[in-house]
Amino acid sequence: MPCSARSSARARPGRRKALWPGPPSASYLVAKYNNERDDRVRLASYARDLNADVNSLNRVTAAGQVAYNCYSAKFRAALEDYKAKRITRAELDQRYAEIKSGLAEASAILGSTLSEADKREAEYRQVLTVEAKKASRPIPPVQTVATTSKKTSKTTKTVTRKQTGDQLQNLSNGVGSYKESTAQLTAVKSDLDEIQLQMDKVMLAQ
């Protein structure tokens, strides 16, 4: 199924497993770099992992959008062929069954990814809480890209503390980016579900 989110992922060799893996436990994420004594190195490592997770989530969203666009085009083409009497009603029904199956598969993949994304966000929030406690700092508020630009970071006279504080906020901003990516994925899944309902109505009217 060239339109499906699954096959879009397979187009990148070796990437499917990374696109929707089962998330590690919160204790695993906290313990992963626990032996690293340098705060800057440890925070940078968490930020790197978070950025990779955001990118993976965005790839799933992009694959879902590809599925939406492709199956929508296939449905329009099938209707045009039927109305032009190039295919029979039975052939139209067969093509629609394939389209509907592909949409359902794509929606299921996105739904599974969203379930894991909620768990992953909670895990990174725990990491943020633990790291803020280690730095003897308040937990930085999780901000989205839109709200981050409206605020300026506070300066501090202690260089090491400033660096740690900046990295904590960067990690918090990364959680905000992850939250935004999850919202975008949710929107694409909603589109996939909605277009299936609309297609059903059109088919009934034929």
Q: What is the pTM of this model?
A: 0.76
Is the four-CA dihedral 194, 110, 177, 10 of positive or negative sign? negative
Asked whether residue 23 carries a pLDDT value surpassing 80, the answer given is no
CA 71/CA 187 separation, integer angstroms: 17
What are phi and psi for residue 200, nearest 5 degrees?
-60, -45
Where do the H-state alpha helices sit in 135-158? 145-148
Cβ contact 124:178 at 8 Å:
yes
Query: How far apart are alpha carbons 22 and 9 in whole angstroms?
Result: 16
For residue 7, pLDDT over 50 is answered with no
For 114-138, what is the mean pLDDT?
Answer: 89
Helices 159-205 and 89-134: crossing angle in degrees, nearest 10, is 160
Is the pLDDT at 187 greater than 80, yes or no?
yes
Residue linked to tokens 């959680």:
175
- Say what the pLDDT of residue 34 is: 73
Rg (CA), the chain: 22
Q: Given this model, what pLDDT does residue 16 score?
A: 37
pLDDT one-digit tens code per residue, 98-113: 999 999 999 999 999 9
Cα 122 from Cα 130, distance rounded (Å) = 13
Q: If you average pLDDT over residues 45-65, what whole number do you get? A: 92
Q: What is the pLDDT of residue 33?
A: 75
For residues 50 and 88, give the distance between their C-alpha atoms in angstroms, rounded to a whole number. 51
Distance of CA 20 to CAs 30, 111, 162, Å?
A: 21, 11, 35
- Residue at token pair 């989530």: 57
Average pLDDT over residues 169-182: 91
The per-residue pLDDT for 145 is 56
Nearest Cα to Cα of residue 4 among 137, 125, 126, 105: 105
Question: Tokens for 166?
Answer: 């900046």
Per-residue confidence band for 27, with pLDDT thresholds at 50, 70 and 90? low
The predicted model gives 2-30 an average pLDDT of 48
DSSP string covering 76-110? HHHHHHHHTTSS-HHHHHHHHHHHHHHHHHHHHHH
